[in-house]
A and B are shown apart, each in its own frame.
Chain A
Amino acid sequence: MIKFKNVTKIYLPDTAVLQDVSFEVAEGEFVSVVGKSGAGKTTLVHLILGLETPTSGEVYFGQTNLNDADSLEIQKIRRKIGVIHQDYKLLPRKTVYENVAYVMQVEGKENEEIEKEVPRVLDIIGLSEKVDNFPDQLSGGEQQRLAIARALVNRPDIIIADEPTGNLDPYNAYEVVLLLQKINQAGRTVILSTHDREVINKLGKRVITLENGRIIRDEKEGKFII
């Protein structure tokens, strides 16, 4: 589903964030990408989203080489990916309801479907009491849940979670991981980027370990070892 082929990313003048990275993620897989801060995890996520282009090498989403994709193809690919960002990336001037509805509107979904689906997802995520609140009126945990709701509402093929537990207490972090596991059990591909040892060790899923921009380990049932 996603394929990195000898990908190198260098930020000018000479900071190599990723070096000769190659791996594949199959449909329905749960893959964790681990590494210290600055190991290149976020750059890897940005490359999948087409927010950055590799200095050399190729990134494929399905059959599409993102290097050759035009902006319309990139937009379509982004709509197939639900992303949970470390800094949430919520729309500050839209309410909780509107934040979730926005991604469905981007997709061109009908109003009836949006009116049915958004409250359902907000209910699952526990934010149905706060539909009219703005993001700055929510706690950190609630903002994180809102980001998750937004990533899930379009039932995307793949969920990418970039440090989703970074700003959460252990209880909320565990809740988020459980949710991602459930999503994966429902058949979706999940890519989790984190430096949370506890989380990875509990999961018992495939782990790709990055160090200084290189893959140093890729294990089917991996542990957090750095």
Chain B
Amino acid sequence: MLTNFKRVLGFAIKDFTRNKGISVAAVFVLIVTIMLVTGLVFFHKTVGYLTSQLQNKIDITAYFKDNAQEEDILSVKEEILKISPNIKNIEYISKDKALAIFNGKHQDNAVMARALQEVGSNPFLPSLNITTNGDPSQYEVISNVLENSDFSKLVDKVDFLQKKDTIEKIYSITSSINIFGLLLGAILVAVAVLVVFNTIKLTIENSKEEISTMRVVGASDWFIRGPFVIQGMLYGIFAFLICILITVLATYFLSPYISAVLPGFNIFIYFLTNWWIFVLIQLGFGIAVGAISALVVVKRYLEI
């Protein structure tokens, strides 16, 4: 068994090195495919970052009555957290904090300062600022709960209706981007896999006669198939080594430009913290596509 495996491995390595032109062509096609998949992963992450940034900008605010007690508002906060698992953030803003935020925003604005003085007391209401996953129905549920349940006697108003159109538009845009990205990704990956399959088919096509000779001398199916499958894996391994190098260099050099467009998003740091995922994707994809293509093609020739 071990001897046979060593022999099959030896045949594969010899064929790989002897047919340099074919090997280079197959590795090149695999590099293009793996880089496409890698690019799609980065694209998905970038789009995800962009959409989450957009969604984080959407929130609804529940304003409580002036006389509502802080502990009552905090208990409403706890209840809302229990109702919806999709809440990303819920922040209690007291009257004083609301005033401080206002002052902070308008510290250089004398008109605003005078207006506050005219009012005399703190005119701001305590509030809960709620951010969910962006789904409008989530905001609607929370808004309904706040306005129609026992909490309603504490709540002055919820600004959901004013923001409803914006929330729906942004949610529909981000959902469409995600679906479009997934569809485009799936189509591109399918096309790329077909291209690799056909390249490997062409490399094995030359060996059709050889395969039939191997059958005639009594070689077992695996003794014939093994070297081709291992060669497919070798294409994948070499393509992976080149791709990971390209990925390191590309993320390192492109990172400042991407950060300039998307502040707070560092693609190189993202790669470094998730390097093992990229190794798995690139190596796994390369080996699997290389080996499975070879397996399918040789199987077809073995049946002839």
Q: Which residues of A contact B (CB under 8 A)?
A: 49, 51, 71-72, 75-79, 81, 83, 85, 89-93, 102-103, 105-108, 110-111, 150
- Closest-by-CB residue of B relative to A106 is B219
- Which of A75, A79, A150 has the most chain B CB atoms inside 10 A of its CB? A75
Chain B, range 186-244, C-beta contacts under 8 Å to A: 207, 209-210, 212-221, 223
CB–CB A76/B218 < 8 A: yes
B18 at the A/B interface (Cβ < 8 Å)? yes
Partner of B210, one of A49, A93, A107: A93
Per-residue contact bits, chain B 1-16, to A (CB 8 Å; 1 contact, 0 not): 0011001000000010
B19 at the A/B interface (Cβ < 8 Å)? yes
Contact A103 to B217, CB < 8 A, known contacts A108-B4, A111-B3: yes
* Number of residues of chain B lying within 8 A (CB) of chain A: 20
CB–CB B3/A106 < 8 A: no
Partner of B223, one of A49, A51, A83, A106: A106
Contact A83 to B18, CB < 8 A, known contacts A108-B3, A108-B4: no
* CA A49 to CA B7, docked complex, whole Å: 25
* CA A79 to CA B214, docked complex, whole Å: 11
Chain B, range 1-56, C-beta contacts under 8 Å to A: 3-4, 7, 15, 18-19
Contact A78 to B221, CB < 8 A, known contacts A93-B15, A93-B210: no
Contact A78 to B210, CB < 8 A, known contacts A93-B15, A111-B3: no
Chain B residues positioned under 8 Å from A90 (CB to CB): 213
* CA A51 to CA B210, docked complex, whole Å: 15
- A66–chain B nearest beta-carbon distance, Å: 14
Chain A residues positioned under 8 Å from B15 (CB to CB): 93
Chain A residues positioned under 8 Å from B217 (CB to CB): 78-79, 83, 102-103, 106, 150
- B8–chain A nearest beta-carbon distance, Å: 9
Contact A93 to B213, CB < 8 A, known contacts A105-B7, A106-B223, A108-B4: no
- A148–chain B nearest beta-carbon distance, Å: 14
Chain B, range 98-139, C-beta contacts under 8 Å to A: none
CB–CB A49/B221 < 8 A: no
Q: A75-B220, A77-B218, A89-B213 are in contact. List 9 more A-B contacts (CB 8 A).
A: A51-B216, A83-B216, A91-B210, A91-B214, A93-B15, A93-B19, A103-B218, A106-B214, A106-B219
Chain B residues positioned under 8 Å from A103 (CB to CB): 217-218
* CA A71 to CA B214, docked complex, whole Å: 14
Chain B residues positioned under 8 Å from A108 (CB to CB): 3-4
Chain B residues positioned under 8 Å from A111 (CB to CB): 3
Per-residue contact bits, chain B 286-302, to A (CB 8 Å; 1 contact, 0 not): 00000000000000000
